[in-house]
Amino acid sequence: MALVQELGVSPENIIYISPCKQVSQIKYAAKVGVNIMTCDNEIELKKIARNHPNAKVLLHIATEDNIGGEEGNMKFGTTLKNCKHLLECAKELDVQIIGVKFHVSSACKESQVYVHALSDARCVFDMAGEIGFTMNMLDIGGGFTGTEFQLEEVNHVISPLLDIYFPEGSGVEIISEPGSYYVSSAFTLAVNIIAKKVVENDKFPSGVEKTGSDEPAFMYYMNDGVYGSFASKLSEDLNTIPEVHKKYKEDEPLFTSSLWGPSCDELDQIVESCLLPELNVGDWLIFDNMGADSFHEPSAFNDFQRPAIYYMMSFSDWYEMQDAGITSDSMMKNFFFVPSCIQLSQEDSFSAEA
């Protein structure tokens, strides 16, 4: 909240959406005038009532992609069945409910989930009206993958429903959280091969593509892993297969390979199995479309220090940033300027041609 305010955003335009808020943070929000926040259960509602007298709450409802299933208990959002109880509790606690929030996970491939979510949101608005609340905000969440196709597909589904359930002139402000959309492919990551092992091909999981049981397979260890730039790999699969940053013949044989981070932790597996030409220690791999939830600040694991991170930006991108109002010369020291935008994670110096 402090960081966003430092960027010039006024408190009334900040929404505190964490589903599990610390009391100290609720008190801080009250102190600085951040009044809008989310809630999905009675205990959280009472906590807000005790510590933020001016709170304006968005009721966070669950969507079909995170109800039930093996991980259902770990998800956030209240059920439609429980909403009336929470609205009645809010009335008793004198907490103002101003709208509804839902979030469809980026892992959900079915855009029809939005149909049910918007229908449920409309039901909550109607229930709130009967209890005496005047609601004026709908937050359709984030989870947008960054692909133009997915965004168009979601828009195709939700636009007609918004016109029906929350038409223009209804007084309902509709917002979303498109942060992951904007930065899902913000970086290209270059990593260095620091170690290599030859293993038997049949040691790889069944069902993955192999080059033949008589040929070797390789385990490659890179200088970055899940405790750094691949942090999102701990919670979701990485679908990106890297590009080898060296010249090799088109007919050069490909071998079953797995890619690992440097920590020696069994969780630090980046790619379970892919086909690559044989690599050597010192070779580079390039991962495209790195961004949302992937890059974390450098940290140590088992006293293994991550290498320095260098950022590179094209002159054209820098000029666009200046046109947008970012003109501080002090920022220049953090960037190298090259023909393309690459985030480097390295042990040693990177060749000038990169």
Per-residue tokens: 33: 């005038």
Look at residue 333 and tell me if it is in a domain.
Answer: yes
Question: How many domains is the chain partitioned into structurally?
Answer: 2
- Give the pLDDT confidence of 111-142 residue by residue, as tens digits: 788 999 999 999 999 999 999 999 999 999 98
Residue 76 lies in a domain: yes
Give the pLDDT of residue 342: 44
DSSP annotation string for 272-310: EEEEE----TT-EEEEEEE-TTT-----EETTEEPPPEE
Catalytic residue among 20, 83, 264, 274: 264
- Do 10 and 108 belong to one domain? yes
Written as six digits, the tokens of 259 are: 């890619």
Residues 17 and 163 in one domain: yes
Quick one: which of 52, 346, 45 has its CA closest to 191? 346
| Three-point CA angle 70, 106, 137, nearest 5° | 105
Whether residue 313 sits in one domain with residue 204: yes
The CATH number linked to 43 is 3.20.20.10
pLDDT of residue 339: 45
Do 244 and 154 share a domain, yes or no?
A: no
Domain co-membership, 199 together with 327: yes
Residue 143 belongs to what domain range? 2-183
Give the per-residue pLDDT at 47: 97
CATH number at residue 291: 2.40.37.10
Q: How far apart are CA 248 and CA 136, in angstroms?
A: 59
Exposure b/e, 71-90, CB count within 10 A at least 16 = b? eeeebbbbebebbeebbebb
242 and 161 belong to one structural domain: no
Residues 164 and 246 in one domain: no
Chain centroid, CA 107 distance in Å: 10
DSSP state of 325: T
Domain end (from 149, 183, 217)? 183
Q: Which residues of the chain have pLDDT under 70?
A: 65-74, 146, 201-214, 233-240, 292-311, 326-354
Together in a domain, 299 and 225: yes
Catalytic site includes residue 264: yes
Which pLDDT score, from 0 to 100, does residue 195 have? 95
Same domain, 177 and 216: no
Burial (CB count within 10 angstroms: exposed 0-12, middle 13-18, buried 19+), residue 118? buried
